[in-house]
Amino acid sequence: MKRNTFRVVITGASSGIGAATAIAFARQGAHLVLGARGREGLEDIARQCREAGAVAHVGTVDVTDASAVADFANEARRALGGIDLWFSDVGIGVVGKYTDVPLADHHRVIEANLVSHMNDAHAVLPIFQSQGHGIWVNMISLGGFITSPYAAAYAASKFGLRGFSAALRGELYDHPDIHVCDVYPTFVDTPGIHHAGNYTGARLSYPPGALAPEKVADAIVRLARRPKPSTVLGMPSLLMRLAEFANPVTAVLMDRFMERWSKRAEPVKDTTGTMYEPASGASGIRSGTRKPERAGNTALLVGVAAAAVALGVGLSRRRG
């Protein structure tokens, strides 16, 4: 990435990982177009980018609207003179037993997490093809490999994103300078925990080991220099893939954990969070509920995955 010349578009840029990534690119001298539903959050992050010395434009866009995304992409190309990297970071969640959550909320999660990324790719890939180069960064998550009881629509969207990226890489095989890069972090300490829909009756919180958004942002900036198909953060890549093999056991363990947690956590009323309306005001980068990440905090996640793998292998041997 050459300083002062790299042109970056980020959707979901008003908070969390998207915001942290915008600021990280700004510090590299990139030219930015930032998109999200909420104008106040966007302006807050754009201001921080400009203070870091970057050129930053903003555009409000609902990425579930394909025509709005196409317009946003064309405006971004005009503003920047081209697009070198597009980061699709929009994501929401709703937590609760599948049948306790209204079906409309499940549909909204699929629209935001899967369909919106498809809309982004449909808008930017023709731009990349006309330029002859470009990097599309697809934010997925640990949920793209390991199923998430109490978050069935989220799991469906993340598994879907994995398949979508794989299909695009196949189609783009003859375009070696156009890259599709997936990013798979474990839990990340963002305001998303305050934005999620919640039908558990219990206050949501992050588990030990939640990553700093800035760590994810730095990994995305590295992709601008050296694109690669998959980036795993917060857990060894091999262990995550082995945990996928043990998914039936992992899902049962997670379901039992969620049941116990929901009975012990602080009770709260059901909410749709920000699924249908953007957050009011600026949300910032972190949730404000956790201390900065420390070495070794991923031990819980690694331990659960390792236990699931061991159980899965044992069950497989018994069946054999």
The one-digit pLDDT tens for each residue of the chain (320 residues) are 444 479 999 999 999 999 999 999 999 999 999 999 999 999 999 999 999 999 999 999 999 999 999 999 999 999 999 999 999 999 999 999 999 999 999 999 999 999 999 999 999 999 999 999 999 999 999 889 888 888 999 999 999 999 999 999 999 999 999 999 999 998 899 987 788 899 998 888 887 778 999 999 999 999 999 999 999 998 766 666 666 666 666 666 666 766 776 777 788 888 988 889 888 888 889 877 765 444 333 444 444 444 444 444 444 444 44
Residues 120, 268: Cα–Cα separation, whole Å: 35
Quote the pLDDT of residue 250.
67
pLDDT attached to residue 180: 98
**Residue for token pair 């920047």:** 80
Residue 154 annotated in active site: yes
Tokens of 263: 């009975």
Q: What is the pLDDT of residue 255?
A: 66
Contact 46, 18 (CB under 8 A): no
This prediction has a pTM of 0.86
Among 139, 136, 135, CA closest to 154: 139
Architecture of domain 7-319: 3-Layer(aba) Sandwich (3.40)
Task: Show me where the domains of the chain are located.
Answer: 7-319
Give the distance from CA 186 to its chain's centroid: 10
Nearest to 85 by CA among 32, 47, 37: 32
CA gap 250, 288 in Å, rounded: 29
What confidence score (pLDDT) does residue 195 get? 86
Per-residue pLDDT at 2: 46
Catalytic residue among 150, 154, 184, 199: 154
pLDDT confidence of residue 282: 85
Q: Could you give the C-alpha distances from 182 to 25, 127, 136, 140, in angstroms and in order? A: 18, 19, 9, 7
Could you tell me which of 151, 214, 194, 215 has the C-alpha nearest to residue 289? Answer: 194
pLDDT at residue 317, as a whole number: 42
